């Protein structure tokens, strides 16, 4: 059963902010929201995670709505190297739950 819904593809102009949405309307109180990305023919790369507060690191910002039913990953100044498939995943951290990847959003950065 898919726990998250993402648009299959998005384009963003180079230098602009890329905003990637994710719906997770059935998220449980103890599930975190994770984002990974996979550049073509490479292994997935961890980006960021959060529970209910907004989070920011050197790669991106994660905005989680107050009801936690959706979130947005923001890449503030997209570059061509950000072209990748972005996966939004919800997962309980403690309890050995699997990291289950869906089909993600294919983000293309346009020069």
Binding mask 9-48 for another protein (x = CB under 8 A): -----------------------x-x------xxxxxx--
Joined tokens for residue 84: 């990748």
C-alpha distances in angstroms, 76 versus 6, 33, 48, 62? Answer: 19, 19, 14, 11
Binding mask 53-92 for another protein (x = CB under 8 A): ----------------------------------------
Ranges of H-type helices in the chain: none
Q: Which residues bind another protein (CB under 8 A)?
A: 32, 34, 41-46, 49, 93-96, 98-104
């Amino acid at each position: 059963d898919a726990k998250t819904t993402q648009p299959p593809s998005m384009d963003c102009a180079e230098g602009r902010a890329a905003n990637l949405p994710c719906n997770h309307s059935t998220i449980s109180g103890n599930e975190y929201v994770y984002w990974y990305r996979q550049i073509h023919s490479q292994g997935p790369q961890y980006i960021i995670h959060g529970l209910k507060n907004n989070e920011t690191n050197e790669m991106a910002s994660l905005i989680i709505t107050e009801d936690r039913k959706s979130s947005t990953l923001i890449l503030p100044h997209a570059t061509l190297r950000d072209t990748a498939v972005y996966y939004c995943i919800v997962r309980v951290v403690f309890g050995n739950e699997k990291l289950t990847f869906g089909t993600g959003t294919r983000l293309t950065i346009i020069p």
